[in-house]
Amino acid sequence: MGKKAKAGFNSPFRALRLPAAVRPVSPAKPVPTAPAPQDAGDDAAVFRAAMSGVRPLGADPARVEPAKRETSALPDDEQLAVLELESLVQGKGEFRVFEEEEDHSGLAAGASFALLARLKKGEFSWRRHLDLHGLHKDEAKVAVTEFVIKARKDGERAVLVITGRGRSSPDGVAVLRDILPRWLSRAPIRAHVLAFATARQVDGGAGAYYVLLRRPGVRPFGV
């Protein structure tokens, strides 16, 4: 006969023989629940509470106004259209522009080719000049416009505008030299110009232009 187990003997395998119904069970983890939807009235109440100390700005004389945005010195597209129309009315025709390699010239409608030939030969003496070296395109256009208008107002007959040949530009392109004939033959500068031509070598050659101005107080085609 086998021996009886002593009373109080703790067998580590006793739990293995227990039926599944009496085995210890781990407590179930709580299932998270979605928060209850917030009422729209609560949002309004929160907003009112947050804005309770806010007051509208009054006409405070000590308040400093922010700096205004600087306006461009160049006319916008609409202003250019009006100036171009006025220029056409004054000149009664298109400004004629001629290009031959580095030799550029232009002549206002009604002006003679004999006048342009004299300008090319340097027969019109000039006392004022404008050097555009180091200026960007927009800066140069403003400078040329102001220079031409003031020179004509002061009674100057001819002026010299130096554009350079673009040798010092990053891509080697003479941007100002190529675009100056367009500026001189279009509004607002064309109303003050009678003719222009590439300067002689002694005055800068292909890197400069003679500009013949209209006489102040004289009709467009007065010479």
Name the CATH topology of 95-213. Ribosomal Protein S8; Chain: A, domain 1 (3.30.1370)
For the whole model, what pTM was predicted? 0.58
Q: Is the pLDDT of residue 110 over 50?
A: yes
**Residues 161, 209 contacting (CB under 8 angstroms):** yes
pLDDT in tens, 186-215: 888 988 999 999 999 999 999 999 999 998
Query: Which amino acid is located at 64 in the chain?
Result: V
**Residues 156, 213 contacting (CB under 8 angstroms):** yes
**Residues 187, 83 contacting (CB under 8 angstroms):** yes
Of residues 198 and 37, more confidence is placed in 198
Of residues 73 and 201, more confidence is placed in 201
pLDDT in tens, 132-185: 998 999 999 999 999 999 999 999 999 999 999 876 666 667 899 999 999 999
DSSP 209: E
Q: Is the pLDDT of residue 87 over 60?
A: no
Query: Looking at residue 221, what is its pLDDT?
Result: 42
Question: Cα–Cα distance between 144 and 146 in angstroms, integer?
Answer: 6
Domain boundaries defined on the chain: 95-213
Q: Is the pLDDT of residue 3 over 60?
A: no
- Residue 79 — φ and ψ, nearest 5°? -65, -40
Mean pLDDT of 60-73: 61
Sequence-distant (≥ 6) Cβ neighbours of residue 94 within 8 angstroms:
88, 109
